[in-house]
Structure 1
């Protein structure tokens, strides 16, 4: 994974999230994301987390924006606590949009 950004450049990562976990984000009881470390995640990057129902294979229309405040699992002394190839992203919710049926 190559990251050619300048030191202070932010990136927005568009990610799918299961509706159950999405609701926990909205309620504030979930302040982290466990993700494959297959993207150049950095602290201060933005996440666009879109609720996606895998049973219907459709987006629900709800989404939240979050900022990455920390990354756990990349340092050698952290790897024993996180499955290989994954990271835990600490996040702060920025803005949410709800779709009312």
Structure 2
């Protein structure tokens, strides 16, 4: 499994983050595979905004696409996938909605423990 860091325009970022847009059509230049993760980083006016969302590829097809393009079906990654990829603490933080970019690049175990313990018990299912 690979984590692909990709730019995404604000007009698409919101619907993807909300789970309304459940696919991405991309140039097929990264050897995408089912179970890969997409770290979609909002990009506006030539710069990253700091907003990011993590999605899992569940299906892909090149049928009915322009040559060299692929459509990727995406969803929220499940906890087991995140745990096997990043370890329990980072998976828990991602599941709680911490910004993926922060977790993947900056979070320390102490940061994660502080955030996990700060969650209200009513938030736990």
Q: Please give the range of the TM-score, normalised by the shorter of the 2 chains.
A: 0.7 to 0.9
Aligned with 2:40 (options 33, 45, 49): 49
Aligned with 1:28 (options 9, 19, 22): 19
Bigger proportion of residues as helix: 2
- In 2, the alpha carbon distance for the partners of 1:92 and 1:28 equals 7
Structure-1-length-normalised TM-score: 0.75
Give the ranges of 4+ consecutive aligned residues of structure 1 lying more than 3 Å apart after TM superposition. Answer: none
Structure-2-length-normalised TM-score: 0.61
Deviation at 1:85, TM superposition (A): 0.7
CA RMSD, 1 decimal: 1.5
Per the alignment, residue 4 of structure 2 pairs with 13
Unaligned runs of 5+ in 1: 1-9
Unaligned runs of 5+ in 2: 78-93, 101-125
The number of residues matched between the two structures is: 81
Contact 2:19 2:75 in 1 (8 A): no
